[in-house]
Amino acid sequence: MRGMWMLSLVLTAFTAFADEMLWDKLRQDPNMIVLMRNSESSGNRDGANMYVWDASGKCEGESTLTAEGKDQAKRVGAAFARHGVRPMVISSPMCRCTETARLAFGAYSTDPDLRQRPAGDVAGQETFQARASALLRRHRGKTPIVFVNHRPNIDSLTMELISIGELLVGRVTADGEVEVLGIMRIKP
């Protein structure tokens, strides 16, 4: 029992150290990116309306953030402020992502090609990949980027599955690819 407690303590300390190293990189290297899944939404809970997009911005029929999702987004923004990282934020135009971006960071930009599409929409996924890479190439080297998007899209960029509340940290290469460095979790 005591051994498990000690192992848990060591792992917690190592995780905190690794997170601080990633925060340092975000403060110092302008080619950094944080890929962030939208916070908890009604669609994450029930699986409904995940592909509905109201291009008018009124969110009609779209999955929107739950109360917990709103709190999660605010905690992420507070963590960035606490660590002195002021990123450029690019979001999917779908309401669960724009709500996350607004609550966490205030200012953000969107692009219609960054929205979530059904898994079988190969042309849509190719459009997403091309647009995401172009945006990352264009904005790298200025300031760290936060990319608020959807799990399937983040997976297609990085081959990493992240959970709600996790931040995938990487470096943007000259060709707009993401070189994964680690994953951080923002605690309540």
List per-residue pLDDT tens for the chain, 188 residues long. 665 544 444 444 445 557 899 999 999 999 999 999 999 998 877 777 778 888 888 889 888 999 999 999 999 999 999 999 999 999 999 999 999 999 999 999 999 999 998 878 999 889 999 999 999 999 999 899 999 999 999 998 999 999 988 999 999 999 999 999 999 988 77
Fold of 2-185: Rossmann fold (3.40.50)
Q: The pTM is what? A: 0.88
Q: How does strand 178-185 pair with strand 166-172?
A: antiparallel
pLDDT tens readout for residues 93-110: 999 999 999 999 999 999
Domain boundaries, the chain: 2-185
pLDDT tens readout for residues 30-41: 999 999 999 999
Residue 16: DSSP 8-state? H
Residue 162: DSSP 8-state? -
- Which residue matches tokens 């923004």? 77
> Within 10 A of 8 (CB to CB), how many other CB atoms are there?
10
